[in-house]
Amino acid sequence: MNVALILSGGTGTRFGSELPKQYQILAGKEVISYSIEALKKESIVIVTDKESIKRLSETYGVTCIEGGATRNESLKKGLDYIKVTYSICQKIFINEAARPFLTADLVDLYLKYLDGYDAVITAQYITDSLGRNGEVVTDRSEYYLIQAPEAFRFDLLYRYFKADSPITATVQQLPAERKVMRYFDFKRNIKITYKEDLQYAEQFISK
């Protein structure tokens, strides 16, 4: 069994609005709705703030639970809920509600990769020049960005993931011997963080 987890606890501070970025309107629909639509073949759990639980549940007909103060705390609450409610869960797909360009085909691809890997992460090559304190020249080819969406063998992630870990990249909490697929071909993985990002996303959708 596969379960999808959508993290939707952002407050919209950087976006500069009382309405969180994931509930802003993008091409006539809430930003979060794009993730829900892409994941509709799976059982969906949304981790969100207490005030949004009832509205999201009624609007989209999905399970919603209250998150924590940090991303890691919210993710752990989601994992705990899935462990109890979906005891036969084998694979988990995780996305952030502010990333609206997820597709059903990409979800299927990541879950398929888990037949041979412990984890699948979205990775992006660094195309700008990169600097590091104390270095004159930094080789950017040695680094890459880690983003949601991501997918994991559920039992492995549940065993090692800690809410109080200072590590922000989920995959880095797994043991060193884990087998990870780094997927570099999700080029249009825009995250709505600032108002300009919403305008940028509108341009892509309208094409």
The pTM score is 0.93
Q: What is the mean pLDDT of the chain?
A: 93
pLDDT at position 52 is 95
pLDDT of 15 reads: 58
pLDDT value at residue 46 = 98
> Tell me, what's the pLDDT at 204?
81
Q: What is the mean pLDDT of residues 23-51?
A: 96
Q: Supply φ then ψ for residue 12, to 5 degrees.
A: 85, 15
Question: In this model, does residue 14 exceed pLDDT 60?
Answer: no
Average pLDDT over residues 15-29: 85
13 pLDDT above the threshold of 70: no
**Residue 134: its pLDDT value, please?**
85
H or E, element range at 174: none
Which pLDDT score, from 0 to 100, does residue 10 have?
Answer: 67
What's residue 18's pLDDT?
77
Residue 16 has what pLDDT? Answer: 55
Q: Give percent above pLDDT 70 in the chain.
A: 95
What the chain holds in terms of domains, given with CATH numbers, is: 2-206 (3.90.550.10)
DSSP 75-135: HHHHHHHHHHH-TT--EEEEEETT-TT--HHHHHHHHHHTTT-SEEEEEEE--S----TT-
Confidence of residue 206 (pLDDT cuts 50, 70, 90): low
Least confident stretch, 67-81, 93-107, 123-137: 123-137
Give the pair of three-digit tokens for residue 5.
């987890």
Q: pLDDT tens digits, residue range 38-96?
A: 999 999 999 999 999 999 999 999 999 999 999 999 999 999 999 999 999 999 999 99
Query: What mean pLDDT comes out for the span 120-136?
Result: 91
**pLDDT at residue 137 in the model:** 87
